[in-house]
Amino acid sequence: MKDKDLFDMNLEEKRLKTFKKWPFSSESGISKEKMAAAGFYFIGNKREPDLVKCYICLKELDGWEEEDSAWEEHKIHAPYCQFIQLNKPNSEITLQDAHELEMHRMLNLTKKILPKIVEEFKKEAQKTREDLKNLF
């Protein structure tokens, strides 16, 4: 799943649908339902079969164990996450909350992507400078 697909992850039911290949049972503290409720969606693959990502803070976590708690692990590894700080189930999130979460999500996404864009720009600028030097 690409970052552009994050736009669909604001609803718990959409996050839940990503857990088709989730390797843990529904009785564990990390059931797919609990993972989705904690803000995660599944991005795992053969190499990382339990990899998840938060739709707000973009934190990726894997190495889950049956006795883990999705919410507590999210809180431990990403205490700065606005979804965790809000501390509300999806059913209680207001329009104001959703708006603020979306602003934070966009800011987090920008912080993650912008350095890559700047680096690409610098490389292209250097290449253009070299091409111009070769012309003269």
Domains with residue ranges and CATH for the chain:
3-135 (1.10.1170.10)
Q: Are 37 and 7 in contact (CB under 8 A)?
A: no
The verdict on pTM exceeding 0.85 is no
Q: How much is the pLDDT for 19?
A: 96
Q: How much is the pLDDT for 3?
A: 46
Q: Are 101 and 9 in contact (CB under 8 A)?
A: no
Cα separation, 40 vs 50, in Å, equals 11
Q: How many helices (H) and strands (E) does the chain have?
A: 5, 3
Nearest residue to 35 (alpha-carbon basis) of 9, 54, 48? 54
pLDDT tens for 9-53 read: 989 999 999 999 999 988 888 999 999 999 999 999 999 999 999
Cα separation, 131 vs 62, in Å, equals 45
> At 60, is the secondary structure helix, strand, or coil?
strand
